[in-house]
Each structure stands twice: as C-alpha cells, then as structure tokens.
Amino acid sequence: MPQPRIVDSHCHLDFPELSAELDAVIDRARAAGVTRMVTICTKLRNLPQVQTIAETYDGVFFAAGTHPMSVADEPMASVAELVALAEHPKMVGIGETGLDYHYTADSKDSQQESLRTHIEAARQTRLPLIIHARDADDDMARILSDEYRAGPYTCVMHCFSSGEGLAQAALELGFYLSMSGIAAFPRSGALREIFTAAPLDRILVETDAPYLAPPPHRGRRNEPAYTVHTAEVAAKAFGMTYADFAAATSKNFDRLFWKAA
C-alpha cells in the first residue's frame, strides 16, 4: 500500500541546520510521504538562496517576506517589490509577516506597517498571507479584520499557538490555522482543542523546521519528514485515520496555495 502523501506547508530549508545536507533532508521527506514543501524566506536579502532551493528540487516551493522579528534591522519591503517577486512560478505565498511582541515589542509600530504592506501584496497577487503571531493577539485580530474589510485576501496563521480569540477571528475571515510540532506536544491538549473546534477544511500542517520538532524528536533539529509525526497526533485528535487526515490537509493546501496545487 503506498505511503499517504502530505504537505509541509512551512519550513526553512535555507537555514544552516538543514542546508548543509539538503539532498538527504529532501530524500527523507519524500520517503516519509512529504511530497511538497514550502520553504520560507524571512529576510528578502536571503531570497536568492531560498529561490535557488525551490528551483533545484521538484515539489519545493517558496514564500517571501520580512519576518516581524527582523523588521527593525531590514529595509522595509514595498508592495511593488513583493508583487514583482510573486511573478516567479514557484513563489506561492507572501510572508512570513506578522507581529511578535515577545522579543521585539519595541519595533511594534514598524511591524504593523510591514504587516499592512504584506497584506496589500497578498491582496494584489491573490497569494496567501503567511502570519507569525506571538504575544500580539489583540492587535493581530484588529489589523487582520480591518484590512479584510478594506479588501479581501487569503491567509494562514502559521504555527498557530495563540488563544481561542485569535483563532476565532481568523476563522471568521475564512483564514486557515496551521498545526506545527507544538500541537503534538503531550501538554498541548488545550491547543489541540482549538484546532479540533475549527472546520477540518481550514487546517494545514507544517514543521517550521529546523525548529519545534514534534515527539519523538522534540528538543532536536526538526525536518520536513517529521510532518508525519505531527499529523499522526492531529489525526487522532480529529478522530480520523492518518491517511484521511493527510488527504484532507493536502486538499486544503491546494485550495489555499493554489500556485503549488
């Protein structure tokens, strides 16, 4: 019986923890049934390396933007710049962008400006916005809602680990929630309940590799092959077989990341 196919909707293949042995990382992912991956560029000056990775490997796509924790140290991206980048056939998303007040609250104004820029680029390109949110639930919900009223766009809340309120605000806008290894941790029962309360057709899975490895690899380097471990825990939480959950989340990915379908 063939291995069920699944998608890692968010990883960082250009980070040195993975790039040093990329052929082996990709091979292990494919052997595990992870046939597609989206590698995320978090600083636009790193785009050439990220783009080359996507161009080199079948089934690897990329997204580009400025991570909120880097906004203070990087040139502010423009809408025109992001829209131009989106012409690449393998660029499938805008971001990751968002708000992070945990470590970088001092740049919150610049983060909000950058977020709105990325939203407008997502609106113009019809590519999904990829959101990072940490300790900023209220501002995040407000900005996403205000901007949606100004003009619709699509979005995934990557590595979602925020509160129920932000989850509900995102779902009401038609957005998606992505499960990372955090959702597979034994003590993440409350987080899994947020996911299972959401419609199944709004759920994605990801690794955020090289970070946040799920059990049994927790505390070690993460890689796309480990999408399977998070998805197995998620399938159980949803009361589904792994194969059915993999098929459902892959269908969701195709709907949202239409350029990678």
Q: Is residue 1 part of a domain?
A: no
Q: Is residue 172 part of a domain?
A: yes
Q: Is residue 21 part of a domain?
A: yes
pLDDT tens, N- to C-terminus, the chain (261 residues)? 678 999 999 999 999 999 999 999 999 999 999 999 999 999 999 999 999 999 999 999 999 999 999 999 999 999 999 999 999 999 999 999 999 999 999 999 999 999 999 999 999 999 999 999 999 999 999 999 999 999 999 999 999 999 999 999 999 999 999 999 999 999 999 999 999 999 999 999 999 999 999 999 999 999 999 999 999 999 999 999 999 999 999 999 999 999 999
DSSP-derived letter for residue 38 is E
Q: Is residue 92 part of a domain?
A: yes
59-81 burial, b if ≥16 CB within 10 A, otherwise e? bbbbbbbbbbbbbeebeebebee
Q: What CATH number should be reported for the domain holding residue 81?
A: 3.20.20.140
What's the total number of domains in the chain?
1
Q: Is residue 43 part of a domain?
A: yes
- Give the structural domain span for 187: 6-260
Q: Is residue 54 part of a domain?
A: yes
Q: Is residue 214 part of a domain?
A: yes
- Rounded to 5, what percent of the chain is helix, strand, coil? 50, 15, 35
